[in-house]
Amino acid sequence: DAGVTQSPTHLIKTRGQQVTLRCSPKSGHDTVSWYQQALGQGPQFIFQYYEEEERQRGNFPDRFSGHQFPNYSSELNVNALLLGDSALYLCASSRKPGQSYEQYFGPGTRLTVT
């Protein structure tokens, strides 16, 4: 049973650049949520995708955008990177809304902005 996968594992970018992170959900899951986890903090919800649409969004600026593809995989894009965007970016997958509530995380992408 394939779990949630994310790529790349690590990434180093310079302020002002743009970055794209990728996620493939667990087998049987069709909903993807993205979280940002700063050091020493709990994950913070960025947004959730289901049926290729953004369904919910947390308190993140428009620099953060996403996409979901027909095969349920997803991308997180961050434009105009700031030093404060350095964090672990986590993707979580789940079954469609109403079927279950459990979310399972991928290994994460560690983003460092210099």
Partner 1 sequence: QKEVEQNSGPLSVPEGAIASLNCTYSDRGSQSFFWYRQYSGKSPELIMFIYSNGDKEDGRFTAQLNKASQYVSLLIRDSQPSDSATYLCAVMVRGGSQGNLIFGKGTKLSVKP
Contact positions toward partner 1, by CB under 8 A?
31, 33, 35, 40-45, 48, 50, 55-56, 58, 88, 90, 94, 96-98, 101-108
Taking the least distance from each CB to partner 1, the nearer of 67 and 96 is: 96
Taking the least distance from each CB to partner 1, the nearer of 77 and 102 is: 102
User: What stretches of the chain show up as alpha helix (H) in DSSP?
Assistant: none
Taking the least distance from each CB to partner 1, the nearer of 19 and 31 is: 31
CB-based burial label for 22 (10 Å; 0-12, 13-18, 19+): middle
Nearest CA-CA partner of 25 in 97, 105, 89, 87: 105
- Min dist. Cβ of residue 85 to partner 1 (A): 18
